[in-house]
Chain A
């Protein structure tokens, strides 16, 4: 039982890295760099009063314009480092590291 509880605790600790939720707030990606295991679906939510986009620099993914509270999700099926930015406000950048 104790071992199982310990394992659950470890899994619980690891959970935040798996959810991959990123808010866009005040013209910034609130988690500018995250590491996730392959197969993770990352969801971006725009909390600003103006639209933003989520566009990977190597064209692996590209969201439409996200208005307030709209979301965009992408599932990372291959390992690697993915740099992305907002194509409207290109100083907004972020990075997803996908581990095998």
Chain B
């Protein structure tokens, strides 16, 4: 019984923390330290818009999933898209950090593409493990592989910020975690070699590039090597999905952040027998699904990440 009580308290404490994050917070980076401020208390720094770069991250739409945890993932993705379109200050583009589909079926990719085309914005994708279930990921690459290398990795520059999309969901080894692989790591080293150390870097990939909970496979085996190539940069932001909940961590100049899913929530690390889809009461579902808004001001100004649930 004592154990149970302790477990309950831990979970409650954790959920309170998650709720606070999920209902909206502005993360600001100052002197390498990330500080969270509830959105209501923020001096609207992120929303003011001095021409800073704004983009949105969505993740884990799992088109094709129809189990009790969410029987209408199309509707919740639509809601997320409507939220992006309704922004008073529209973002420049959208990042989708993988698991577009649930089973990599062409029909699922087609529906996803149709839904996303409602956004009058460029969307950049990296695959999740659910997008490469069939034919070595060809269905994904046919649609989103243009201008990418290998299994879909690529980089681009936007308003002085260097964006790097990495793929850590193919050729996974028995007993291991996410993997980037030697070819991609070599490419990454070359890709950033010519950049000034003052260039802000944003890395986006499906599986977290930090050890969130290896017991559930929530980490990437060779992430340390990738982050090693980024050590000299003053500002590195790593955006991931896969775990269907908001988590964040700061390590030196690197801030890590995971986004909510638009499809279904997953349990907090170790809080369930497995990381499978978490069924919650219908009225709670939309408070656990959502997207992340990211704002960059000038290079020497803070980066801000706001997590918005579907019901806020």
Contact = CB atoms under 8 A, between A and B. Distances in A.
Given A26-B276, A90-B173, A90-B176, A65 B133 contact: yes
Interface in A39-90: 48-51, 53, 57, 64-65, 67-68, 83-85, 87-90
B7 interface: no
Contacts of B275: 27
A54 to B, nearest CB: 12
B282 interface: no
Interface string B212-246: 00111100000000000000000000000000000
Contacts, number: 58
Nearest to A94: B174
Contacts of A68: 67
A9 to B, nearest CB: 36
Contacts of B104: 65
Contacts of A89: 129, 217
B103 A67 contact: yes
Contact of B276 (A27, A57, A64): A27
Nearest to B69: A49
B102 interface: yes
Contacts of A88: 129-130, 133, 172
Q: How large is the interface on A (under 10, 10 to 19, 20 to 34, 35 or more residues)?
A: 20 to 34
A28 interface: yes
Given A27-B216, A48-B276, A91-B217, A64 B175 contact: no
B276 A49 contact: yes
A42 to B, nearest CB: 17
Contact of A90 (B69, B177, B274): B177
A89 B213 CA distance: 13
B176 A91 contact: yes
Contacts of B274: 26-28, 48
A83 to B, nearest CB: 7
A98 to B, nearest CB: 18
A38 to B, nearest CB: 23
B147 interface: no
A5 B119 CA distance: 72
B134 interface: yes
A51 B217 contact: no
Nearest to B272: A26
Given A64-B134, A65-B133, A83 B103 contact: no
A28 B172 CA distance: 17
Interface string B145-187: 0000000000000000000000000001111110000000000
A53 B277 CA distance: 17
B273 interface: yes
B217 A93 contact: no
In this complex, which of A28, A49, A83 has the most chain B Cβ atoms within 10 angstroms of its Cβ? A49
B67 to A, nearest CB: 4
A93 B172 CA distance: 12
B133 to A, nearest CB: 4
Interface of A: 26-28, 48-51, 53, 57, 64-65, 67-68, 83-85, 87-91, 93
15 contacts: A26-B273, A48-B276, A49-B67, A49-B277, A50-B276, A50-B277, A51-B133, A68-B67, A88-B172, A89-B129, A89-B217, A90-B175, A90-B176, A91-B175, A91-B177
Given A49-B277, A51-B103, A91-B175, 19 more contacts: A26-B273, A26-B276, A27-B274, A48-B276, A49-B68, A49-B276, A50-B276, A53-B133, A65-B134, A68-B67, A84-B174, A85-B174, A88-B130, A90-B172, A90-B176, A91-B176, A91-B177, A91-B215, A93-B174
